Amino acid sequence: MRKAKQLATQCDDNNFEPMASAFARVVPCAPPVSPSRTSRARARKSPTPVFIVRAADESLPKLYVPGDAMGGESPEAKAAQTLRRLFTFVAIRVVQSHLEGAGNDGGFAPQVTGRDGKVMCPDYDDLRNAMEKIPLGDGDEWLDAFMKINSTVALRVIVARETYMRQFDYALAKQYAEDLVNKGNAQLMKRHASRSFSGDDAVS
């Protein structure tokens, strides 16, 4: 504060120019102006949320993900929504395979289709039609629509989805994701180095 006052007293026509840069870092030369209602309202608005990604390895830098990059949600929340959609798709195929006799000693269930290829199982017919005509959406949207058509099979899909969610190997999925990114980065850098050494690298 003392430094600010000293600089303020020296802010005259003779020595303002050489001191402008130092003085600007401490206090403004102009007298303070009370903020207007608009500026106060803007100041009260909460800034865009930022999600901080903390790495397990402390040597790695923190990543600051803008909140509006994912519609105000964290990347993990978006990944969870993608997993929900995946779990729903897997559950639908599981129930489909059950209706076709998967897991039975006889293999293919004879009640699903006849010798002429006609569908003999109404539940299987409903499920196949729903798979072809109803968009999967976020998973819940498909189940909600199919529940109005065949609630019995829809409930089987819901149970299968919850079961698969509990059995899903999250650690293995993390390992696969790391392998894909690491291998992809290595290949990209290799191709970039090859283009650079051959002179084919595009000039931006």
80 vs 50, higher pLDDT: 80
Orientation of helix 140-147 relative to helix 75-99, angle to 10°: 40
Count Cα atoms within 13 angstroms, Cβ side, for 155. 3
Distance CA 94, CA 116 (A): 25
pLDDT of residue 42: 47
Give which of 109, 121, 120, 123 is closest to 153, Cα–Cα: 123
Q: How far apart are CA 8 and CA 23, in angstroms?
A: 8
pLDDT digit string, tens, across residues 27-47: 344 444 444 554 444 444 545
pLDDT in tens, 110-129: 455 555 556 668 899 999 99
List the domains of the chain with CATH numbers. Answer: 1-30 (no CATH), 75-167 (1.10.1200.210)
Burial class (CB in 10 A: 0-12, 13-18, 19+), 125: middle
| Residue 161 neighbours by CB under 8 Å, 6+ apart | 87, 88, 90, 91, 139
Only one residue has tokens 């390992």, namely 175
